[in-house]
């Protein structure tokens, strides 16, 4: 761990190059980045030649679609690069300016191309499909065109689409403002433990400090973080209010029944999936209350506080890892996915520079997988050497391998992923990892490790299925208020969140006056109705991982085929390829039964 500790909290240029992503592979010379942005803008300016002529013939339709793809592919490569360079150090104004330039170009290009879809839909949709049948090269675009036709009632006229496209850069302002406030401007300083020792508090160290055995340190960490957010309550609530207002206005302009309908409709996901997730989780809240009660008992506390929820109930020794050790554990756990999967991932993590490993000053907090069609499937993380970090690694590695297989198989237009399916690819890996670790503990007869891992598994359910569903319920309530003509004041957001937190944790959790500010540190709230897909993905992944482990070659190949399909069909249909039907409540209910069983096991082991 000494090497890991040396890497933490350094300036960017002090981090060893072997632990930085190989982003220069995208643009060895940044002059090429500027040229790509310029070329994409020039190509979009000449795109006007198609206006009024897209549907002249099958060949004119094909030419327009291929040109749009070339523009999008070039621009997305540039945006990915500048975004990731900004995330390396949000205090570096050079890459902030480059990213702003790219996003401004994106808005201009979107406006220049905005006539395309309205023009496609201004005529007879049957003619579009007739062109596809006549021109073999259009076959690739069949599903994409079907998706466009499906959205016909929600596409505005050419002038209106042009206006919305021109405003797209500004409309994203609330999220950008929050990101800069959260990642660049906020400074939590240091917090003291019970002996007066000081610990640097950052986004990256927050969970680690909240897991510490020193309750004074946990309390001080909790109070410092939420105390700082409380000072910004008015500012963040204003940013979030306008983000939700944007969702509400756009959904009305596009003739959706609600912002939720707008989020679900393009991917043909029934709203009952969202509402059903929340109602099913509510049915299993008594199991969560039992877990909270066990936690209070095992920790020996008269009062269980919110700053006690991250503390492991059991803490075996030896659960600290170098990055290289973490990669080894991850690859062993993922062996059920086959040699090619594991070999490719290991090479990407250790040799090809897919991952940016350690925290540095100004680096974006958390973790993600990102990349363009023509780049490596990069991973950003803030590795601290804990078991949690191996889960983060396999999670983001799942996203990256999903991108790897898809980009290798699908054309550019289908190389993305719905979040609904993407979170399955990441969480299958997490599920395989916990089952591998539990198997190792069982085989070694290490009872303390088994207790720890069951507790860890329960906490993964808590963090992903319960917590993200609570977030989803918060979003549903805040969007409902704004859609009905209200506004989100700080008091409104605080009250909704406070009541939900009390409902989800139950009677054995002491009420905290500070937890009501927790909503204000969640960046995903600036992507409307995004977080519920973590919970549905976790449920689907629980079923798929069990199918892989209890099945044979067919079950493995079904899943690997799913990874190659990208956006080539609607999400629920894609998941059927992997063996689950998310249009039914069964996967969520089945996953929550696993959770309830784990709570029973923990209760018995802790007696």
Phi, psi of 192 (to 5 degrees): -100, 145
Which helix (H) or strand (E) is 389 found in, with range?
helix 387-409
- Using alpha carbons, list the distances in angstroms from residue 333 to 323, 344, 421: 15, 14, 21
CA torsion angle for 426, 431, 437, 440 (degrees, to 10)?
-130
Cβ pair 556, 402 in contact under 8 A: no
Which residue from 463, 510, 459 is spatially nearest to 307, judged by alpha carbons?
510
Which helix (H) or strand (E) is 380 found in, with range?
strand 378-380
Q: Which residue has the tokens 């927050």?
A: 206
DSSP state of 360: B
Q: How far apart are CA 399 and CA 378, in angstroms?
A: 9
Which residue from 10, 2, 22 is spatially nearest to 385, judged by alpha carbons?
2
Cβ pair 355, 24 in contact under 8 A: no
Q: Which residue has the tokens 């506390």?
A: 301
Cβ pair 311, 207 in contact under 8 A: no
Which helix (H) or strand (E) is 200 found in, with range?
strand 198-200
Q: How far apart are CA 329 and CA 458, in angstroms?
A: 20
Which residue from 41, 33, 43, 45 is spatially nearest to 97, judged by alpha carbons?
33
| Positions marked catalytic | 396
Cβ pair 375, 26 in contact under 8 A: yes
Sign of CA dihedral 508, 511, 514, 515: positive
Residue 456: partners with Cβ closer than 8 Å, 6 or more residues away: 312, 387, 434
Cβ pair 249, 234 in contact under 8 A: no
Q: Is 362 exposed, middle or buried (0-12, 13-18, 19+ CB in 10 A)?
A: middle
Structure tokens at 52: 């009024």
Which helix (H) or strand (E) is 190 found in, with range?
strand 190-192
Which residue from 283, 274, 601, 261 is spatially nearest to 442, judged by alpha carbons?
601
Which residue from 98, 93, 95, 75 is spatially nearest to 85, judged by alpha carbons?
95
3-state secondary structure string across 326-394: HHHHHHHHCHHHCHHHHHHHHHHHHCCCCEECCCECCCCCCCEEECCCCCCCEEECCCCCEHHHHHHHH
Q: How far apart are CA 292 and CA 507, in angstroms?
A: 9
Helix (H, G, I), strand (E, B) or coil at 258: coil
Estimate the crossing angle of helix 532-550 against helix 419-444, to 10 degrees. Answer: 50
Angle, alpha carbons 290-295-300 (nearest 5°): 130
Separation of CA 214 from chain center: 31
Q: Which residue has the tokens 């999008």?
A: 72
């Amino acid at each position: 761990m000494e090497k890991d500790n040396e890497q933490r909290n350094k300036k960017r240029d002090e981090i060893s190059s072997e632990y930085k992503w190989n982003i220069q592979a995208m643009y060895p010379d940044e002059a090429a980045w500027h040229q790509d942005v310029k070329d994409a803008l020039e190509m979009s300016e000449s795109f006007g030649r198609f206006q009024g002529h897209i549907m002249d013939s099958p060949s004119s339709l094909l030419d327009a679609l291929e040109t749009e793809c070339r523009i999008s592919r070039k621009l997305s490569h540039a945006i990915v690069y500048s975004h990731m360079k900004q995330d390396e150090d949000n205090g570096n104004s050079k890459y902030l300016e480059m990213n702003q330039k790219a996003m401004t170009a994106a808005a201009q290009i979107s406006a220049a191309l905005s006539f395309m879809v309205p023009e496609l839909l201004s005529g007879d949709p049957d003619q579009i499909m007739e062109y596809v049948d006549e021109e073999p090269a259009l076959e690739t675009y069949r599903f994409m065109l079907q998706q466009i036709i499906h959205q016909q009632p929600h596409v505005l006229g050419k002038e209106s689409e042009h206006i919305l496209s021109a405003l797209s850069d500004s409309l994203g302002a609330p999220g950008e403002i929050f990101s800069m406030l959260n990642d660049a401007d906020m400074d939590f300083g240091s917090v003291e433990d019970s002996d007066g020792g000081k610990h640097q508090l950052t986004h990256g160290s927050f969970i680690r400090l909240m897991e510490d055995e020193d309750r004074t340190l946990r309390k001080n960490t909790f109070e410092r973080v939420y105390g700082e957010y409380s000072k910004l309550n008015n500012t963040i609530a204003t940013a979030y209010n306008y983000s939700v207002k944007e969702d509400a206005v756009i959904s009305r302009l596009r003739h959706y029944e609600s912002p939720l309908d707008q989020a679900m409709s393009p991917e043909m996901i029934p709203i009952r999936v969202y509402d059903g997730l929340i109602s099913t989780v509510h049915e299993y809240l008594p199991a969560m209350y039992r877990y909270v009660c066990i936690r209070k008992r095992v920790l020996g506390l008269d009062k269980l506080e919110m700053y006690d929820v991250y503390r492991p109930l059991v803490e075996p020794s030896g659960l600290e890892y170098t990055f290289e050790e973490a990669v080894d554990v991850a690859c062993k756990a993922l062996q059920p996915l086959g040699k090619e999967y594991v070999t490719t991932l290991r090479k990407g993590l250790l040799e090809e520079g897919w991952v940016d490993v350690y925290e540095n000053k100004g680096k974006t907090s958390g973790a993600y997988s990102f990349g363009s069609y023509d780049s490596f499937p990069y991973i950003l993380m803030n590795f601290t050497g804990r078991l949690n970090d191996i889960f983060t690694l396999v999670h983001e590695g799942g996203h990256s391998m999903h991108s790897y297989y898809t980009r290798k198989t699908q054309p550019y237009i289908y190389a993305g992923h719905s979040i609904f399916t993407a979170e399955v690819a990441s969480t299958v890996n997490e599920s395989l990892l916990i089952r591998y670790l539990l198997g190792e503990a069982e085989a070694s007869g290490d009872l303390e490790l088994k207790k720890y891992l069951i507790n860890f598994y329960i906490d993964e359910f808590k963090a992903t299925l319960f917590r993200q569903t609570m977030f989803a319920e918060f979003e549903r309530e805040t969007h409902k208020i704004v859609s009905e003509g209200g506004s989100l004041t700080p008091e409104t957001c605080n009250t909704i969140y406070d009541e939900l937190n009390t409902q989800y944790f139950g009677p054995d959790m002491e009420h905290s006056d500070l937890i009501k500010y927790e909503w204000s540190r969640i960046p995903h709230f600036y992507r409307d109705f995004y977080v519920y897909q973590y919970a549905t993905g976790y449920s689907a992944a629980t079923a798929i991982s069990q199918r892989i482990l209890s099945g044979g070659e067919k079950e493995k190949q079904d899943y690997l085929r799913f990874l190659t399909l990208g956006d080539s069909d609607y999400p629920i249909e894609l998941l059927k390829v992997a063996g689950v039907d998310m249009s039914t409540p069964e996967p969520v209910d089945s996953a929550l039964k696993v959770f309830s069983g784990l709570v029973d096991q923990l209760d018995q082991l802790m007696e």
